[in-house]
């Protein structure tokens, strides 16, 4: 055989091998979506894995996974680093726009004690509305410049709103609308899909390895993982929102991040909040 | 066990396509490699799973070409293409296999 | 404009525990920004805490202290209702001060 023909055979062999490997070893049945069953299985998985952790303590992420970290965190909570963001957030909620309205006017109850009602599926807009998106939709509809989604003002405002909701539990609903169910399923799929050169999915760290370490960090369980957002993260030397965490997580596994508040991220937040139903808001939080 | 299948397949692809000994690359070689890499990157980007390392390899290829080092430029472009092809493979493979990690 | 200093001082027995959180960028001067330019040094050089007009704690800080520093210490003396004054000065000549009551 000529060199060309030989390499052609090798190539074909490789392609065949790759195709064979692409077929899943176990035939996975097509499922009928069942969010309540997902929620039950999800919460049971973590409760079984960490029987000593009180249910409401899952919102403390790595601190409920490691005693030493817990002590340091408790001490830090006496004088938490997110206090400055809280003050700024309160200010921004009340600051009048050019047209005289305020950010608080866009929300039920002036934005006090409503954080746990986000995200929700808006049947009129046909999409998931997160708290961050709602803030910027308010700004834009009032002729103001929207905030950057990842830190600064957005973090301050969502921190303040979270703070006024401390203790209130998630009760995310999936309305009887095929688009809402599709958004939920999309978020779920995103959560478990491997991506980036490091081939990690969100589940790889937060379902398979909570309580274990990745380099020097203790991994948080996925259950309740959004309840403390936004967070003052020592690694960032500052505040960061859910958008910041989703985008940086993508780049950490060597995947080019999507744009903050892109559909996949909002659907992901919808899924993660739904499966954490019953857990209280603990934000804003402080994390290593 | 199953999670290593994807990794194994990726390694095979990368191993299978790396070129063996060849003569020095010309500017034409680089341009062809870069075009192929750009196309693969664009496809991965369309699938919402472009790899950061593929992006940086592409940038390194361009920079090396500007400096006249077409060997390096071609090698980086080929690397970028391989990485993007692996990303495309990963996306397709994960279309069903994401369920392997799902809590049920 | 809100103060950059937050203080919580608690008297217990014959000593007082002081916690303070200070808002300050604490730029070391070694970090580069997104464009590759060095961010100039901008950090607190001295913190002074006074009780009854006398300094009970002086800290000489530098670029090694992180952003938004948190400080905790205890001193002998002080009782509930007393004034406690916390001040800082930085390398750009800026300063801030706050007086709080010991709880």
Could you tell me the pLDDT band of residue B7, with boundaries at 50, 70 and 90?
low
Question: What CATH topology corresponds to A83-163?
Answer: Cytochrome Bc1 Complex; Chain D, domain 2 (1.10.760)
Domain A35-79+168-281 has CATH 1.10.760.10: yes
Looking at beta carbons, which residues of chain C come within 8 Å of A237? 66-68
Average pLDDT across chain B, whole number: 87
pLDDT: which is higher, C87 or B9 = C87
CB pair distance less than 8 Å for B100 and A28: yes
CA angle A159/A45/A254 to nearest 5° reads 60
Looking at beta carbons, which residues of chain C come within 8 Å of A238? 67
Closest by Cα among A284, A2, A36, A12 to A162: A284
Q: What is the pLDDT along chain A (288 residues), one digit of tens a residue?
A: 444 544 444 444 444 444 444 444 455 555 789 999 999 999 999 999 999 999 999 999 999 999 999 998 998 888 899 999 999 999 999 999 999 999 999 999 999 999 999 999 999 999 999 999 999 999 999 999 999 999 999 999 999 999 999 999 999 999 999 999 999 999 999 999 999 999 999 999 999 999 999 998 999 999 999 999 999 998 898 999 999 999 999 999 999 999 999 999 999 999 999 999 999 999 999 999
Whether residue C50 contacts residue C98, with contact meaning beta carbons closer than 8 Å, is answered with no
| CATH number of domain containing C13 | 2.60.40.10
CB pair distance less than 8 Å for C21 and A79: yes
- B17-65 confidence digits (pLDDT tens): 554 456 788 999 999 999 999 999 999 999 999 999 999 999 999 999 9
The pLDDT of residue B6:
58
Residue C49: phi, psi to the nearest 5? -115, 125
Q: Which residues of A have a catalytic role annotated?
A: 249
Domain edges within chain B: 3-101
The pLDDT of residue A90:
97
Cis peptide before B33 (omega within 30 of 0): no
Find the closest chain C residue to A78 by CA distance: C19
Average pLDDT across chain C, whole number: 94
Find the closest chain A residue to C23 by CA distance: A84
* 3-state per-residue secondary structure call for chain A: CCHHHHHHHHHHHHHHHHHHHHCCCCCCCCCCCCHHHHHHHHHHHHHHHCCCCCHHHHHHHHHHCCHHHHHHHHHHCCCCCCHHHHHHHHHHHHCCCCCCCCHHHHCHHHHCCCHHHCCEEECCCCEEECHHHHHHHHHHHCCCCCCCCCCHHHHHHHHHHHHCCCCCECCCCCCCCHHHHHHHHHHHHHHHCCECCCCECHHHHHCCCCCCEECCEECCCCCCCCCCCCEEEHHHCEEECHHHHHHHHHHHCCECCCCCCCHHHHHHHHHHHHCCCCCECCCCEEEC
**The pair of three-digit structure tokens given for residue A265, joined into one six-digit string:** 């991220």
The pLDDT of residue A50:
97
CB pair distance less than 8 Å for A199 and B87: no
The residue range of the domain holding C47 is: 5-101
Residues 6+ apart with CB under 8 A from A66: A211, A218
Question: A touches which chains (3+ CB pairs under 8 A)?
Answer: B, C
Establish whether chain A is in contact with chain C, requiring a minimum of 3 CB pairs below 8 angstroms: yes
How many whole angstroms separate alpha carbon A246 and alpha carbon A236?
14
Domain edges within chain A: 35-79+168-281, 83-163
Neighbours of A32 (CB within 10 A): 6
Cis peptide before A62 (omega within 30 of 0): no
CB pair distance less than 8 Å for B52 and A10: no
The pLDDT of residue A237:
87
Report ipTM for this prediction: 0.84
pTM: 0.86
Looking at beta carbons, which residues of chain C come within 8 Å of A84? 23, 68
CA distance to A207, A212, A225, A232, per residue, from A215 (Å): 17, 10, 20, 20
**The pair of three-digit structure tokens given for residue B12, joined into one six-digit string:** 């095979």
Which secondary-structure segment (H or E) carries B78?
Answer: helix B70-97
Mean pLDDT, to the nearest integer, of B3-17?
55
Partnered with residue C17 across adjacent β-strands are: C10, C74
């Amino acid at each position: 055989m000529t060199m060309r023909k030989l390499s052609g055979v090798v190539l074909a062999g490789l392609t065949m091998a790759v195709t064979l490997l692409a077929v899943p070893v176990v035939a996975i049945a097509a499922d009928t979506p069942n969010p309540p069953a997902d929620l039950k299985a999800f919460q049971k998985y973590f409760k079984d894995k960490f029987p000593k952790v009180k249910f409401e303590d899952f919102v403390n992420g790595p601190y409920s996974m490691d005693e030493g970290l817990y002590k340091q965190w408790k001490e830090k909570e006496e004088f938490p680093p997110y206090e400055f963001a809280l003050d700024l957030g309160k200010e921004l909620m009340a600051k009048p726009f050019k047209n005289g309205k305020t950010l608080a006017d866009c929300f039920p109850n002036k934005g006090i004690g409503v954080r746990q009602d986000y995200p929700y599926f808006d049947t009129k807009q046909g999409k998931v509305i997160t708290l961050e998106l709602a803030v910027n939709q308010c700004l834009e509809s009032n002729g103001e410049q929207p905030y950057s989604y990842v830190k600064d003002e957005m973090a301050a405002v969502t921190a303040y709103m979270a703070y006024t909701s401390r203790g209130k539990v998630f009760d995310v609903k999936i309305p009887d609308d095929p688009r809402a169910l599709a958004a939920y399923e999309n978020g779920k799929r995103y959560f478990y899909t491997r991506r980036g050169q490091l081939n990690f999915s969100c589940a790889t760290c937060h379902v398979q390895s909570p309580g274990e370490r990745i380099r020097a960090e203790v991994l948080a369980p996925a259950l309740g993982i959004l309840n403390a957002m936004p967070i003052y993260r020592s690694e960032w030397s500052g505040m960061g929102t859910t958008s910041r965490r989703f985008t940086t997580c993508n780049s950490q596994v060597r995947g080019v991040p999507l744009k903050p508040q892109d559909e996949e991220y909002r659907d992901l937040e919808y899924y993660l909040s739904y499966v954490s139903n019953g857990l209280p808001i603990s934000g804003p939080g402080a994390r290593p | 066990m199953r999670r290593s299948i994807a990794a194994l397949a990726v390694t095979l692809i990368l191993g299978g396509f790396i070129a063996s000994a060849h003569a020095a690359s010309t500017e034409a070689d680089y341009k062809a490699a870069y075009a192929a890499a750009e196309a693969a990157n664009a496809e991965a980007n369309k699938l919402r799973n472009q790899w950061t390392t593929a992006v940086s390899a592409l940038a390194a290829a361009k920079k090396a070409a500007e400096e006249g080092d077409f060997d390096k430029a071609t090698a980086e472009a080929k690397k970028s293409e391989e990485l993007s092809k692996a990303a495309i493979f990963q996306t397709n493979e994960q279309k069903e296999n994401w369920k392997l990690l799902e809590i049920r | 404009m809100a103060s950059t200093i937050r203080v919580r001082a608690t008297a217990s027995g014959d000593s007082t525990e002081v916690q303070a959180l200070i808002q300050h960028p604490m730029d070391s001067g070694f970090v580069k920004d997104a464009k590759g330019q060095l961010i100039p040094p901008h950090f607190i050089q001295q913190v002074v805490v006074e009780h009854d007009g006398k300094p009970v704690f002086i800290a000489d800080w530098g670029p090694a202290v992180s952003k938004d520093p948190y400080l905790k210490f205890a001193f002998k003396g002080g009782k509930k209702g007393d004034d406690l004054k916390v001040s800082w000065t930085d390398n750009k000549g800026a300063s801030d001060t706050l007086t709080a009551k010991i709880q």
